[in-house]
C-alpha cells in the first residue's frame, strides 16, 4: 500500500502508475482508494480505474476534507500476482490554491501496512531521520504520521534534536488514525537540527513545512532510512 495526506484547498494530482513501470512488466490490476479522518474513521472508499494515469485527489476527497479535516488517503494497488509482492512507488503534485508558495512534487509513501520489518521484533526497529536548515525562518515544521495497520495500534517516538538537547514525544496511533506532531523550531535558544522517528513498523510519515504567512506547504517529503 501507499499513502498520503490530503487537506482542503490544495490541488493534488497523484500519479497512479510509476513511470518506470513498463506495461509489459507490471500490470496494475486494481487500485482502491480509502480515506480516513484523524481518528481512523473511513469516509471514502472507491475503486479507481487502473488505466487512469493521474488521479485528481481533491476532486474525490475535497468535500470529505471540508467536513472532516485532513484525511489519510490510502492506495491499495494490486499487481499481476506473478510479481507479488510489489510496493507501488509513485509521485504526486501538490499546491495550495491562491498561494504564492511553489508547487511540490513528492514520492508517495510506500508503507507496509502494519507488518514489522523483522517478524518477531518487539523493539522499536524502524528508524528514519530528517535534517533541517539552521536558519531563523518563520516556517513551521511538523511530522505527519499515519498508521496503516488493520488491527495493531502503533507506538512511535518522535525525537527532535537541538544543539545539546533532545526532546522525545511518544505517539500512539490506533489503526488508520493519523496526526501531525508540531516540531518546535527552537528550544532554549537552539535551532531544530534534526528529527528522528522510531516505530515498530513503518508508518506513513512526511516531514511538513508550512509558510507562516499563508499556511501553505513548502515541505512535504519523506524521511530517510540510512544506506545499508
The DSSP line for 3-47 is EEEE-TTEEEEEE-S-TT--TTT--EEEEEEEEE-TT--EEEEEE
Alpha helices in 7-133 (DSSP H): 57-68
For residue 89, the minimal CB distance to other proteins (Å) is: 6
For residue 38, the minimal CB distance to other proteins (Å) is: 25
Please say which residue, 20 or 150, places its beta carbon nearer to other proteins: 20
Nearest to 33 by CA among 69, 67, 66, 78: 78
Nearest to 150 by CA among 48, 74, 57: 74
* CB distance 29 to 168 below 8 Å: no
Whole-angstrom distance, CA of residue 149 vs CA of residue 190 = 36
List contacts with other proteins (CB under 8 A): 11, 13, 15, 18-20, 53-54, 89, 91, 93, 95, 97-107, 129, 131, 133-135, 137-139, 161, 193-194, 209-213, 218-219, 221, 224-227
Please say which residue, 200 or 223, places its beta carbon nearer to other proteins: 223
For residue 202, the minimal CB distance to other proteins (Å) is: 17
Cell 504520521, located at residue: 145
Whole-angstrom distance, CA of residue 141 vs CA of residue 6 = 17
Please say which residue, 172 or 213, places its beta carbon nearer to other proteins: 213
Please say which residue, 90 or 176, places its beta carbon nearer to other proteins: 90
CA atoms within 13 A on the CB side of 24: 0
For residue 173, the minimal CB distance to other proteins (Å) is: 25
For residue 18, the minimal CB distance to other proteins (Å) is: 7
Please say which residue, 11 or 181, places its beta carbon nearer to other proteins: 11
Supply 146's cell numbers.
Answer: 499515519
Please say which residue, 43 or 93, places its beta carbon nearer to other proteins: 93
Backbone angles phi, psi at 146, to 5 degrees: -140, 150
Whole-angstrom distance, CA of residue 220 vs CA of residue 204 = 12
Please say which residue, 78 or 191, places its beta carbon nearer to other proteins: 191
Supply 114's cell numbers.
Answer: 502494519
For residue 216, the minimal CB distance to other proteins (Å) is: 9
For residue 125, the surrounding DSSP H or E stretch is none
For residue 66, the minimal CB distance to other proteins (Å) is: 20
Amino acid at each position: 500500500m501507499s499513502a498520503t495526506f490530503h487537506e482542503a484547498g490544495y490541488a493534488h494530482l497523484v500519479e497512479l502508475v510509476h513511470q518506470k513501470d513498463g506495461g509489459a512488466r507490471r500490470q496494475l490490476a486494481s487500485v482502491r482508494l480509502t480515506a480516513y479522518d484523524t481518528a481512523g474513521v473511513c469516509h471514502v472508499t472507491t475503486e479507481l480505474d487502473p488505466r487512469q494515469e493521474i488521479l485528481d485527489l481533491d476532486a474525490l476527497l475535497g468535500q470529505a476534507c471540508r467536513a472532516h479535516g485532513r484525511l489519510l488517503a490510502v492506495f491499495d494497488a494490486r499487481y499481476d500476482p506473478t510479481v507479488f509482492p510489489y510496493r507501488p512507488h509513485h509521485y504526486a503534485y501538490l499546491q495550495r490554491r491562491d498561494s504564492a508558495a511553489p508547487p511540490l512534487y513528492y514520492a508517495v509513501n510506500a508503507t507496509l501496512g502494519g507488518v514489522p520489518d523483522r517478524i518477531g521484533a518487539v523493539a522499536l526497529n524502524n528508524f528514519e531521520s530528517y535534517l533541517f536548515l539552521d536558519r531563523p525562518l518563520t516556517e513551521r515544521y511538523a511530522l505527519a504520521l499515519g498508521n496503516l495497520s488493520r488491527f495493531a495500534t502503533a507506538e512511535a517516538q518522535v525525537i527532535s534534536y537541538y544543539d545539546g538537547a533532545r526532546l522525545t514525544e511518544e505517539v500512539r496511533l490506533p489503526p488508520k488514525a493519523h496526526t501531525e506532531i508540531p516540531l518546535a523550531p527552537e528550544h532554549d535558544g537552539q535551532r531544530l537540527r534534526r528529527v528522528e522517528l522510531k516505530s515498530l513498523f513503518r508508518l506513513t510519515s512526511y516531514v511538513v513545512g508550512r509558510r507562516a504567512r499563508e499556511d501553505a506547504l513548502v515541505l512535504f517529503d519523506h524521511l530517510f532510512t540510512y544506506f545499508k
